[in-house]
């Protein structure tokens, strides 16, 4: 009889753990996964000590690193910190003066803050 109770307890733990395990393993954490977006820069701005002239750029954030590419070549890199906020409807840059301060990734609720 004790074996039956022991097996019932083990099965109950497994059954009740499955939803938790599934929800935590399937959730993507922006802070640890790679996020990419393309943004058209309409006026010259500074990012990572480099000037980004008007044109199309790809912004790739991976953990605390940001790479900016144009025509497939890395033009600058910077260190970022993630900040939670409202989900961005589209990708955009937050610029103060001519300095890029933040990158908002469309469909994500975390923004990359430049250090």
Q: How far is CA 53 from CA 23, 25, 36, 75, 78, in A?
A: 42, 40, 20, 11, 17
Neighbours of 103 (CB within 10 A): 24
Quote the pLDDT of residue 36.
Answer: 96
> Could you read off the pLDDT of 54-99 as tens digits, one per residue?
999 999 999 999 999 999 999 999 999 999 999 999 999 999 999 9
| Residue 101 pLDDT exceeds 80 | yes
Domain locations along the chain: 34-114
> Could you read off the pLDDT of 60-71 as tens digits, one per residue?
999 999 999 999
């Amino acid at each position: 009889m004790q074996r039956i109770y022991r097996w019932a307890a083990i099965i109950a733990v497994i059954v009740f753990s499955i939803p938790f395990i599934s929800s935590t393993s399937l959730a993507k954490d922006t802070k640890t996964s790679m996020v990419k977006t393309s943004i058209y820069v309409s006026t010259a701005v500074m990012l990572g000590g480099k000037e980004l002239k008007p044109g199309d750029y790809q912004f790739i954030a991976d953990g605390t690193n940001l790479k900016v590419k144009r025509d497939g070549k890395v033009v600058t890199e910077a260190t970022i910190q993630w900040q939670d906020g409202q989900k961005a409807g589209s990708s955009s840059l937050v610029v103060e003066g001519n300095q890029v301060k933040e990158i908002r990734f469309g469909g994500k609720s975390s923004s990359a803050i430049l250090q």
